Amino acid sequence: MELQQILGYLGALLIGVVLGLIGGGGSILTVPILVYLMFVNPVTATAYSLFVVGISALVGAIRNIQKGLVDFRTAIVFAVPAFIAVYITRKFIVPAIPEELFSIGNFLVTKNIAIMLFFAIVMLIASISMIKNNRKDSCEETIIQYNYPLIVIEGFVVGILTGIVGAGGGFLIIPALVLLAKLPMKKAVATSLLIIAIKSLIGFIGDVETLDIDWIFLLSFTSISVVGIFLGIYLNKFIEGKKLKKGFGWFVLIMAIYIILKELT
């Protein structure tokens, strides 16, 4: 096994550890690890990422369901438009994007470059969200209020974004649940994992029908990531996740800048 592949599998472990430690954010690393360390085509990498993210989020969601932290009503209202949007995006929109988009002078912008650049922009937004992180962990039992039209619209928008870049979108979902459904922070984080699991795995179904999936590689990569989640959960007893979140945000910011520079040069 080559050094880069070993680093790729260590990256899979890191994805899980980050998810276990801070409850999100790790999935933003999946596509760069698959593309730059495992040499997976960006379109296929975003598909694989949906599966890795979906399974990883499902593990976290099951733990939160056992703790009674998941608000199923909100999850369903958000997840239904989200998974419809992800499925449509993966099944029809992504395959319809031409391989060559446009050129600026001698620089040709291809489908793969455009996807990675768009992904880098999403990483930039996610990193700023993690670095700022002004949210308070409210344990108060506020009255849950539902702004159905806005929750549905937000679900659809997040679904399209997830479909294009293969990231979970927790940094968009959690604020939406807090602001639109008035969920306390702990419930919002827990509920977002269930939403991410549902929309990611259903979105991946759209890829099974259009891409050749290397199941042995995908399942082994995902298994290592899941092991990382349990390792992260264990480490969480000794390390405070909140303090790590800001540091990880800076790491994601550097990664985003690296991707932009790599794709444009």
Q: What is the pLDDT of residues 36-86, one digit of tens each?
A: 999 999 989 989 998 998 898 898 889 889 989 899 988 998 899 998 998
The domain locations on the chain are 3-264
CA-closest candidate to residue 129, choices 65, 70, 173, 92: 173
d(Cα 248, Cα 49) in Å, to the nearest integer? 19
- Considering only CA atoms, give the Rg of the chain: 18
pTM: predicted TM-score of the whole model, two decimal places: 0.80
CB 111 within 8 A of CB 98: yes
Q: What angle do CA 17, 114, 8 make, to 5 degrees?
A: 30
CB 36 within 8 A of CB 143: no
Residue 1 or residue 177, greater confidence: 177
Residue identified by tokens 């806005």 is 150
Considering the chain, what is the average pLDDT of its residues? 84
Q: Return the C-alpha torsion angle 263, 133, 188, 118, nearest 10.
A: -10
d(Cα 118, Cα 259) in Å, to the nearest integer? 10
